[in-house]
Copies of this chain bind each other. A is one copy, B any other.
Amino acid sequence: MDFLTIIDYLGTFAFAISGIRLASAKRFDWFGAYVVGFVTAVGGGTIRDLLLDVPPFWMQQVSYMVVTAAALGFVIIFGKYVIRLNNTFFIFDAIGLGLFTIVGIEKSIAHDYPIWVSIIMGTLTGAAGGVLRDTLINEVPLIFRKEIYALACVLGGMCYYLCAHLGMADALAQFIGAVCVILARLLAVKYQVSLPVLKGDEGNT
């Protein structure tokens, strides 16, 4: 099990925890919480794989289901104490976001898509799971209103391309791209950086 795999599982774990906790706030049962956690963790990558027309990644190996089960067990066993780990999960979540973004970009490049499609696919991989999660628990998606989230993926994707364009080794460009996503996300939350809110009209089209 190499370093990237460990990061991948940590990110999956953190994403699943965020889904399970929001499901628990809605009084979902264990099965419902598991589904929401799983969709949060793999939903973005699944949409990406459907759009790229490749087999969904989590159907190739059982590990994503196992990691989600571990996340459910963790929340069930440690219950209220989970809240004390908020900062830890937040960091895992940011690391997962960075890794998922780069994974999505790489997969798109491997299928010969242009830069802009790859960045969208990277962003979907990182951020769309959270949108599906919020749809399942019947809430307005958080990432459309709070601190910068999906935009961190876009920024990191652009950094990655800049580095690759400058002739850096692929692994280095990937690393810098992921770090950009993570830093952008951490700084956005620390300094509460949000995008402006639209105030067009009452929207009664």
Q: Which residues of A contact B (CB under 8 A)?
A: 17-18, 20-33, 35-36, 46, 50-51, 53, 55-56, 59, 62, 65, 75-76, 79-80, 82-83, 86, 89-90, 113, 116-117, 131, 135-141, 143-145, 148, 150-151, 194-205
Contacts and interface: CB of A to CB of B under 8 A. Distances in A.
B200 A59 contact: no
A32 B143 contact: yes
B80 A25 contact: no
A145 B32 contact: yes
Contact of A20 (B21, B150, B198): B198
B53 A55 contact: yes
A138 B139 contact: yes
A76 B137 contact: no
**Copies of this protein in the complex:** 3
A205 B86 contact: yes
B203 A24 contact: yes
14 contacts: A21-B203, A26-B203, A29-B144, A29-B145, A30-B196, A31-B144, A32-B141, A32-B144, A32-B145, A62-B116, A80-B201, A131-B136, A136-B144, A138-B139
